[in-house]
């Protein structure tokens, strides 16, 4: 390898910082303006100006608790169903010979534009006389999250050596015991990852929820409504709240993974 010269290193760092700023600055800006006490869309001038005014304001919004509850319910159901289905996809992936076809079919929904997926689902549900409800949203979100979740699960399954399962069977394990003792413990990270993906994707999804919801709106629909009806800065507080929850969940997951890594280096 050639030596990395100083100008090269400087420009590499500059580029990295630029890229990171591009990724994080808009969210950080949103978080900052949510603490501005006045109704102006700006960053508080002094540290002492930081205020939770708009966060407190959130408690007075009548429709918000219902929307949050709905989003959490939809998110949890989506997470559960998605991780279970992606577990099944991982199990079948192990045995399939034409793996690439399977993978293609599995991740194809990823490339269907959201608006089309939402519209077609809503038309389809009407065709078979299923009324819009929380469950139709969940179905839409499972369809949406499954490709992402499956990729996470398949990665952990691809690290699972078939020989381990054969060894368990050879030592006397039934198919179920081999799953419980060997497959699940070794792919747990991927399955939890799939659940996390399912929850976060569902929580932040708008278009499918918009088309498939019944009378009870989800959080993202609620926010959209707030923005349309003349923005009250509390919308920034809500955005800040959702952002914090998302970051918190991802951090928990990261800590969990490094914890697993630390205790079983043998995965490498």
Where on the chain is the footprint of other proteins (CB under 8 A)? 161, 163-164, 166-174, 177, 181-182, 185-186, 264-267
Distance CA 170, CA 195 (A): 32
| Least distance (Å) between residue 185 CB and other proteins | 5
| Least distance (Å) between residue 259 CB and other proteins | 13
The per-residue DSSP string of 171-216 comes to TT--HHHHIIIIIHHHHHHHHHHHHHHHHHHHHH--HHHHHH--SS
Query: 202 with 78: CB under 8 angstroms?
Result: yes
Q: Is 230 left (phi over 0), alpha (psi -120 to 50) or beta?
A: left
Task: For the chain, list the strands marked E by DSSP.
Answer: none
Residue number, 27 or 158, with CB nearest to other proteins: 158
Residue number, 8 or 188, with CB nearest to other proteins: 188
Question: Which residues, other chains included, contact 109 with Cβ-Cβ below 8 Å and sequence gap of 6+?
Answer: 117, 143, 144, 146, 147
Helix (H/G/I), strand (E/B), else coil: 99:
helix
Residue number, 87 or 221, with CB nearest to other proteins: 87
Residue number, 75 or 190, with CB nearest to other proteins: 190
Residue 224: Cβ within 10 Å count: 17
Residue 143: Cβ within 10 Å count: 17
Residue number, 95 or 265, with CB nearest to other proteins: 265
Residue number, 40 or 260, with CB nearest to other proteins: 260
| Least distance (Å) between residue 174 CB and other proteins | 7
| Least distance (Å) between residue 178 CB and other proteins | 9
Residue 77: Cβ within 10 Å count: 20
């Amino acid at each position: 390898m050639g030596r990395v010269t100083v100008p090269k290193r400087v420009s590499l760092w500059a580029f990295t910082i630029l890229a990171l700023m591009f990724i994080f600055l808009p969210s950080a800006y949103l978080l900052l303006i949510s603490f501005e006490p006045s109704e102006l869309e700006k960053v508080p001038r002094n540290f002492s100006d930081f205020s939770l005014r708009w966060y407190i304001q959130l408690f007075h919004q009548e429709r918000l608790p219902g929307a949050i509850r709905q989003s959490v319910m939809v998110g949890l159901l989506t997470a559960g169903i998605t991780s279970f289905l992606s577990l099944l996809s991982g199990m079948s992936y192990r045995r399939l010979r034409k793996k690439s076809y399977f993978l293609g079919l599995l991740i194809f929904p990823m490339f269907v534009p959201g608006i089309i997926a939402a519209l077609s689902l809503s038309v389809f549900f009407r065709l078979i006389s299923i009324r819009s409800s929380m469950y139709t949203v969940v179905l839409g979100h499972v369809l949406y999250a499954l490709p992402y979740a499956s990729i996470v699960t398949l990665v952990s399954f691809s690290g699972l050596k078939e020989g381990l399962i054969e060894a368990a069977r050879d030592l006397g394990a039934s198919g179920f015991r081999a799953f419980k003792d060997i497959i699940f413990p070794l792919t747990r990270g991927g399955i939890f990852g799939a659940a996390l993906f399912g929850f976060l994707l569902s929580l932040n999804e708008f278009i499918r929820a918009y088309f498939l919801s019944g009378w009870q709106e989800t959080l993202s629909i609620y926010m959209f409504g707030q923005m349309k009806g003349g923005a009250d800065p509390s919308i920034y507080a809500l955005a800040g709240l959702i952002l914090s929850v998302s970051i918190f969940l991802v951090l928990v997951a990261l800590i969990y993974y490094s914890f697993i890594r630390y205790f079983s280096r043998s995965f490498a």
